[in-house]
Amino acid sequence: MRLVPAFLFLAAQVLVLAGGVSVAQDSLPPGPGHDETVKACGGCHDIGTFSSIRRSQGEWETTITNMINFGATISDDDFDTVLAYLTTYLGTGPPPAPPP
Ligand code: HEC
Give the residue extent of every domain in the chain.
28-91
Where is pLDDT greater, at 5 or 96? 96
Cα(93) to ligand 1 centroid in Å equals 22
User: Exposed, middle or buried: residue 33 (CB in 10 Å: 0-12, 13-18, 19+)?
Assistant: buried
Question: Which of 28, 38, 50 most suits a substitution to test ligand 1, by most atoms within 8 Å of the C-beta?
Answer: 50
Task: Give the pLDDT of residue 26.
Answer: 57
Residue 84 burial (CB count, 10 A): 18
Q: Considering only CA atoms, which residue is closest to atom 27 of ligand 1?
A: 63
Crossing angle of helices 76-89/34-41, nearest 10°? Answer: 110
Dihedral, 58, 49, 80, 99 alpha carbons, nearest 10 = -110
CA distance 36 to 85: 9
Would you say residue 18 has pLDDT above 80? no
Q: Which fold has domain 28-91?
A: Cytochrome Bc1 Complex; Chain D, domain 2 (1.10.760)
Is 43 near ligand 1, meaning CB less than 6 Å away? yes
Q: Does ligand 1 lie within 6 Å of residue 84's CB atom? A: no
In the chain, the percentage of residues whose pLDDT exceeds 70 is: 73
Model confidence at 99: pLDDT above 50: yes
